[in-house]
Amino acid sequence: MTDEPKTIAFVLYPGLTLLDLAGPLQVLGALSELGMPYRAVTVAERKEPMGTDTPLSLLATHTFAEVPRPAAVMVPGGGAPTMRALTDETLLSYLRGAAESAEFMTSVCTGAMILGAAGLLEGREATTHWLFLESLKEFGATPARKRWVEDGPMITAAGVSAGIDLALHLVGRIAGDEVQRGVQFMIEYDPEPPLGPLDWSAPPRELFQQWMESSLRQGLEGHPELLARLLVHV
């Protein structure tokens, strides 16, 4: 065990999807509770309250400048605010810098598009929320319809709840299967959704098509070139 724990940085930005962040944070935060040399922190450009896609606001524990070389990074997704983050050069620059030394760069849901906008998915297989999966092509990635995808140091998860799966996988990569299974027991992650598993042969795309287009238009207002590229996949 090292004197200095390795840092897992969870990125905050205004309007993110709370469960994208909270699920993996709960899982990976367990490493320090189990005596592993890791610590989970939240990072943002500034330490100030920021809203999420729920009535709950968040406050980062650290600024980007205070955690320049984390061992791992997790980027949550969301709707229009995440599309807006695709053009946030301060955020993208932080991710590029962190990627130079991080063991793992990870994302949940449309957080993968932020990694893509930072140029980190070029030539790699990746996944994201099913509505935006084909959009990953615009960032040079190969879309994969999987719960999570690991390609080199990049690990991307599908929509929202898939972040818990990714985080458990990462616990296994860091600490082994026994610890991974122990954390799964600790959070009682054994899902049994009321209507059973989803039928991926017929996802209700038309139900969310208007929301998807609205998210892109709101988030990328003022960036017509990127907007036009991504609207192709709506």
Which two three-digit tokens encode residue 165? Answer: 């799966």
**Burial of residue 229, with CB atoms counted within 10 A of its CB: 0-12 exposed, 13-18 middle, 19 or more buried:** middle
Active-site position among 11, 31, 102, 109: 109
- CA distances from residue 199 to 130, 178, 204, 207 in whole angstroms, order as listed: 13, 31, 10, 15
Between helices 18-33 and 177-186, what is the axis angle to 10°? Answer: 120
109 catalytically annotated: yes
Q: Which of 232, 201, 222 is nearest to 87 (CA)?
A: 222
**Residues known to be catalytic:** 109
